[in-house]
Amino acid sequence: MTHALRPLKLYLANRYFVLGVPFFIFAVVVVLSVAILAIIGTMQGFPLSEEVRESTRNNVGVLFSAPGFLVSVGVYAATRNFALALALGVTRRNFWAGTALGFVLTSAVTATTAVVGLGLEYLTNHWFIGVHVFDVHMFGNGDVTLLFVGLFVTAMACLAGGALFGTLFRAYGTVRTVMWGAAIGVAALALLALAATNEARVLAWQDAWGEWLSVSVVAAVAAAFLAGSYAAVRRATV
Amino acid sequence: MTAGISVIGLTKTYGDHTVLDDLHLTFAAGKIHGLLGANGTGKTTLMSLMSRHTFPTRGRVLLDDREFGEDPRQAQRLCFVRENQLYNDAFKVRDVLRIAPDFYPTWDAATTTRLVDRFRLPPATVVKKLSRGQRSALAIVLALGSRADFTFLDEPYLGLDPGARETFYEELIRSYGAQPRTIIMSTHLVDEAAPLLEEVVVLNQGRVALQAPLEEAEALALTLSGPTTSLDRWLQEHPDHPSLTRRTLGPTATVTTLGPLSDAESASASQAQLRVTSTSLQGLVAALGNSNHEVA
């Protein structure tokens, strides 16, 4: 365990980058969402109509704002941090374990930030003008557990996906990484096609599981990416 | 004292290109080894293989007679910060220096502090913004600070001014004196680094051209000069002293060859009006690099 903590410390070397940035991303989402509603309010008059306020429950900013950043964190960890970890006498297996722990931390901080944001959203009566940022349909309209777990597994999937492709690059080079990417893309399309041809069954699952079905799928993707990066890191070189 | 690093039948190929070809070497523990040779002869690749940054096509590397694989305690005995080391773009110098001590129980904080000061490394600067010389200085700080049992230095002076190079040589000796360990250093500034070295390995086209203690290697390097016909006749009569490089100027020629000469050979050279002078280790490395000769 001690040996895996060293690459974790390497991952956390710049704490602001891996733990602080999600907070700022969500803050920007809140500011932009409020700004957009303020513009609408300026045109239509305050207070905003119930219809406008309720429409912001479809706000997907909190889900789609952070993935780009999180994927880049995963890629950097698997390429740059990997190179420095090996330089400083870390084994590949320990590097993977320590970095995966780091991903858990980043994901937990991301999800916790969203939960705190949800609390603030309630405290401020939806940011003073009735805009919904965290209290949205896709996260169960204020379901704290769904918000936390949903964002946690999404962040893990993004970090692990970035790490998988970074590790594939280190193990196999550019051309074969692109081929791996294409293969993963084709596999994803095949799964979607399978779901489409079994629409009735998928809808039945959706009815039974609700939003937790999507959360489970994303969690499975994150687990598959982590397993893939573990398999690839054994062949990764500098 | 431990056994050191053993390289057994090490071969590395990239496609059709063979970078290292069936290398057999031993880097004895507790010495400073010079890894010498022209560009592209496989020095960095050899260090990468010895530190498991990459994998061999064939062959093995033993650390103190043991395969080390994924053993973290063995891996922790190695430090190889490359001359073009990759760092996370978000890292500042102080981030790297803050975490590095956690990687080595042998970390030498006093040396690190002194080196950062002597190289004037700016702690608040992002590593990717450092100059070439400052990146080399950071690599030196990490390598010497680690006090790892097996420390690799890959052309550590790149971008350093002469004063900073002097600082490096001085600190290397000081650190090594305080805790002798195995240091393997590749360098093109052979004569400048020679006083630090105890053993030298010269690579040429992926093979070992020479492995010898420094004194022996320095004694090997000779130049013979004189009338071309006399020189050619003498070389024909003494096949143990091959012509590694040759320069002809009118009726006279100069060759670099392998010494030392026996008393009889010195006498016959003198009789043939040949002038025998010793040449530098750098001259020998260059000569071996320009020939296909391997010193047994």
Average pLDDT over residues B14-37: 95
**C-alpha–C-alpha distance, residues B277 and B230, integer Å:** 16
Is B81 near chain A, with CB under 8 Å? yes
CB within 8 Å of B254: residues ≥ 6 apart: B223, B224, B225, B246, B247, B248
Q: How confident is the model at residue B296 (pLDDT cuts 50, 70, 90)?
A: low
| Nearest residue of A to residue B77, measured between CA atoms | A89
Interface of A with B (CB under 8 A): 3, 5-6, 9-10, 13-14, 17, 76-77, 79-81, 83-84, 86-94, 235, 237-238
Taking alpha carbons only, the member of A218, A58, A56, A229 closest to residue A137 is A58
pLDDT of residue B280: 87
Residue ranges of domains in chain A:
2-233
Residues of A in contact with B99 (CB under 8 A): 9-10, 13
Do B86 and A91 count as a contact with CB atoms less than 8 A apart?
Answer: no
Q: What's the CATH fold of domain B5-205?
A: Rossmann fold (3.40.50)
Do B75 and A237 count as a contact with CB atoms less than 8 A apart?
Answer: no
Helix, strand or coil for residue B212?
A: strand
Q: Does residue B292 surpass a pLDDT of 80?
A: no
Task: State pLDDT tens for residues B47-67.
Answer: 999 999 999 999 999 999 998
Phi-psi region of B196 (alpha: psi -120 to 50; beta: other; left: phi over 0): alpha
| Nearest residue of A to residue B149, measured between CA atoms | A89
Size of the A and B interface in Cβ pairs below 8 Å:
86
pLDDT of residue A4: 84
Amino acid at B166: E
Phi, psi angle pair for B20, to nearest 5°:
-125, 135
Task: State pLDDT tens for residues B199-249.
Answer: 999 999 999 999 999 999 988 889 999 999 999 999 999 998 988 888 999
The pTM assigned to this predicted structure is: 0.91
Cβ-based burial of B100 (10 A; exposed 0-12, middle 13-18, buried ≥19): buried
Query: How far is A56 from chain B, CA to nearest CA, in Å?
Result: 35
* Paired residues of B151 in beta bridges: B79, B183
Q: How confident is the model at residue B147 (pLDDT cuts 50, 70, 90)?
A: very high
Task: State pLDDT tens for residues A24-61.
Answer: 999 999 999 999 999 999 998 888 899 999 999 999 99
Q: What's the CATH fold of domain B217-289?
A: Alpha-Beta Plaits (3.30.70)
Q: To the nearest whole percent, how much of chain A has pLDDT over 90?
A: 93
Q: Per mean pLDDT, which range of A100-104, A153-157, B151-155, B285-289 is the poorest?
A: B285-289
Is B111 near chain A, with CB under 8 Å? no
Residues of B in contact with A3 (CB under 8 A): 72, 76
pLDDT of residue B193: 93
| Nearest residue of A to residue B92, measured between CA atoms | A14
Residues of B in contact with A237 (CB under 8 A): 48, 53-55
Average pLDDT over residues B32-37: 96
Task: State pLDDT tens for residues A119-156.
Answer: 999 999 999 999 999 999 999 999 999 999 999 999 99
- B18, B35 contact by CB (below 8 A): no
pLDDT of residue B30: 96
Phi, psi angle pair for A194, to nearest 5°:
-60, -40
Q: Buried (b) or exposed (e) across A87-122, using 16+ Cβ within 10 A?
A: bbbbbbbbbbbbbbbbbeebbbbbbebbeebbeebe
Least CB-CB distance to A91: which of B75, B88, B95?
B75
Q: How confident is the model at residue B289 (pLDDT cuts 50, 70, 90)?
A: confident
Least CB-CB distance to B79: which of A9, A14, A89?
A89
Q: To the nearest whole percent, how much of chain B has pLDDT over 70?
A: 99
- The mean predicted confidence, pLDDT, of chain A is 95
Q: Does residue B34 surpass a pLDDT of 60?
A: yes
Query: How far is B48 from chain A, CA to nearest CA, in Å?
Result: 8
| Nearest residue of A to residue B82, measured between CA atoms | A87
Residues of A in contact with B98 (CB under 8 A): 13
Average pLDDT over residues A199-226: 94
Residues of A in contact with B53 (CB under 8 A): 86-87, 237-238
Residues of A in contact with B79 (CB under 8 A): 87-89
Task: State pLDDT tens for residues B235-287.
Answer: 999 998 988 888 999 899 999 998 889 999 999 999 999 999 988 889 889 88
pLDDT of residue B293: 72
Q: How confident is the model at residue B2 (pLDDT cuts 50, 70, 90)?
A: low
Taking alpha carbons only, the member of B32, B26, B34 closest to residue B60 is B26
Residues of A in contact with B72 (CB under 8 A): 3, 90-91, 94
Q: Does residue B1 surpass a pLDDT of 60?
A: no
Average pLDDT over residues B165-178: 95
Do A79 and B86 count as a contact with CB atoms less than 8 A apart?
Answer: yes
* Paired residues of B152 in beta bridges: B80, B184
Q: Where are the domain boundaries for CATH 3.30.70 in chain B?
A: 217-289
